[in-house]
Amino acid sequence: MNYGKKSPSMGTPSIYSHVTTRSSANLKSSRSVRSVKIPWYQKPIITNAIVLDIQRGAMMTAIYGVCLGIFTVCSAVFDIYCLSQAAPGSTHYGYYVISYQFVYVGNQHVRNALIVFALFSMIGGMAVFVTSIMLLIALTKEYEKKMLPWVYVFAVFTIFRLFAFIFFSIVNDMIFAYNIMMCLLWIVFSCLSIYGWLLVYSLYIELSDLTKLEDLAHLRMGTMQSLNASTTHSIAGSRPTTPHSTVSTMPVN
């Protein structure tokens, strides 16, 4: 018998042997994640970015969101200004840097719809700008709960801008350079926005799963510590008895 060696422990492996860093690779080796059926909407849609990893891709998406918010606000303000200046029946005097021939001057209801789209695009651009800054802070500190505002705002903004640019492309004349340029730009922006949203959402799901695993590990450690403390207290508070220390109270004949 080897008294100097300890036999290997056959207990349940610690969760920290699987989760050492907050990354998606560690989730694949966790037994608890594989054993639980997860709904499809709670699974990461993208596990790896095309060029960068998912974390750096999410960071680039946040920077892209800041730039997109600024561009959207500027273009929306410009569209509102042009639509107001090119209203039917308006008269302009003097010299102007640009002409307003590319601006829609047809049906009044269509013009009002374009103004409404531009107005809400400006508001949405401001919201995207603010939430993208919040996303940058959340990504640097890995606070998945603070990523939710961007996820919701950017999803609504992307869907709204998709319909807005389709409407813009239909009603405006595609013979002017400005209209063609804006149409092509928003095609690219829509594709990048959809892919970037999928990246950030996938990272949010992974971080949420890791947080749940860490909470379970902390709960397990706290439970074990409380059990050990109660066991130690009960042993220390009991009086040890032996057969030799027992005093008989029976009368001796």
State how far the Cα of 18 lies from the Cα of 223, in Å rounded to an integer. Answer: 20
- Which pLDDT value is given to residue 36? 55
pTM value is 0.68
Number of domains in the chain: 1
Place of tokens 């860093």: 21
- Which pLDDT value is given to residue 210? 79
Query: Does 15 reside within a domain?
Result: no
SS3 106: coil
Residue 205: which domain range? 53-89+99-216
Query: Does 156 reside within a domain?
Result: yes
| pLDDT tens for each residue of 134-152 | 999 999 888 888 899 999 9
Query: Does 226 reside within a domain?
Result: no
Query: Does 134 reside within a domain?
Result: yes
- Which pLDDT value is given to residue 143? 84
Confidence label for 173 from pLDDT (cuts 50, 70 and 90): confident
- The tally of CA atoms less than 13 A away on the side-chain side of residue 246 is 5
Query: Does 174 reside within a domain?
Result: yes
Query: Does 242 reside within a domain?
Result: no
Query: Does 225 reside within a domain?
Result: no
